[in-house]
């Protein structure tokens, strides 16, 4: 607007020398000059706003594609586990009972595969036994099986209580945690998801890594999906065990 007015004033100064022209013509010329000056300002602003909208649309599209990519990457890992649990439901009780160990190993391997981008990541399934979460050698995919988690230690109590309450735990940097962790440990970041049906806790599915901040919400989502399937699968296996033991 200021540019338009300035342009009109400049034209009026120029046209003031043409006293012999009709006044209406001078006014029309001045208005056209103001319009031209206004358009010179308006068009670049409109193009700028259009470009900003386009940039925002492209950014939103890119974020959506990233989310779809993340979803697809999880799907590639999780779907085989879902298919196995579905097949498990069609087996006889005796066969289901014998498949629990296979199911746990599949879940652990899928968790590690889903976190492939993290160097030295370890995936583990901890069985819950009274006041202890313990990992069998074949229930870990990584360098070595992790240490047991016991309720007699601060960090073990923290994990067990959360698991019993159906809560997941993500410690991105255990050195800065409000919970006390051992001075000597094999990881600096850990994510844990409970594996349970109702109030019955089977154990926890976990990822850990030696670098702080390596795990994030994507890995929690991965553990959540796998943990739910593992919970359903273990329930099927143990239901098969109960059915087998009750058969005369």
pLDDT in tens, 139-167: 999 878 899 999 999 999 999 999 999 99
Distance CA 66, CA 124 (A): 28
Distance CA 106, CA 95 (A): 17
Residue-level length of the chain: 248
Residue 16: enclosing H or E segment and its boundaries?
none
Strand positions, DSSP E, 110-188? 122-129, 132-134, 140-141, 149-150, 169-171
Distance CA 212, CA 209 (A): 8
Structure tokens at 113: 């595969």
Cβ-Cβ contacts under 8 Å for 185 (sequence gap 6 or more):
147, 174
Cα dihedral 45, 46, 47, 48 sign? positive
Instruction: Express each pLDDT in 36-65 by its tens digit.
Output: 666 666 666 666 676 667 555 655 554 555
* 189 touches 206 (CB < 8 A): no
Query: In this predicted structure, what is the pLDDT of residue 62?
Result: 47
Q: What is the pTM of this model?
A: 0.69
Say how far residue 214 (Cα) sits from the centre of its chain: 13
| Residues of the chain falling short of pLDDT 50 | 3-5, 62, 66, 243-248
* 15 touches 26 (CB < 8 A): yes
Q: Which of 102, 181, 176 is nearest to 139 (CA)?
A: 102
Structure tokens at 181: 């962790």
* 241 touches 247 (CB < 8 A): no
Query: In this predicted structure, what is the pLDDT of residue 207?
Result: 97
């Amino acid at each position: 607007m200021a540019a338009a007015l300035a342009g009109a004033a400049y034209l009026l100064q120029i046209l003031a020398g043409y006293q012999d022209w009709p006044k209406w013509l001078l006014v029309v010329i001045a208005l056209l000059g103001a319009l031209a000056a206004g358009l010179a300002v308006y068009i670049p602003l409109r193009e700028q706003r259009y470009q900003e909208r386009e940039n925002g649309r492209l950014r939103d599209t890119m974020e959506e594609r990233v989310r779809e990519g993340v979803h697809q990457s999880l799907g590639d890992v999780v779907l085989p586990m879902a298919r196995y649990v579905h097949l498990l439901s069609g087996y006889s009780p005796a066969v289901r009972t014998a498949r629990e160990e296979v199911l746990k190993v599949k879940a652990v391997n899928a968790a590690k595969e889903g976190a492939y981008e993290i160097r030295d990541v370890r995936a583990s399934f901890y069985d819950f036994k009274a006041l202890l979460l313990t990992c069998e050698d074949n229930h870990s995919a990584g360098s070595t099986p992790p240490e047991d988690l016991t309720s007699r230690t601060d960090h073990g109590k923290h994990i067990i209580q959360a698991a019993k309450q159906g809560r997941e735990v993500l410690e991105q940097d255990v050195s800065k945690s409000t919970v006390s962790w051992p001075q000597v440990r094999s990881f600096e970041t850990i994510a844990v998801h409970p594996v349970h049906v109702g109030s019955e806790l089977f154990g926890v599915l976990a990822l850990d890594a030696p670098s702080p901040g390596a795990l994030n919400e994507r890995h929690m989502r991965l553990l959540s999906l796998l943990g739910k399937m593992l919970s359903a699968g273990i329930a099927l296996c143990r239901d098969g065990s109960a059915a087998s033991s009750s058969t005369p």
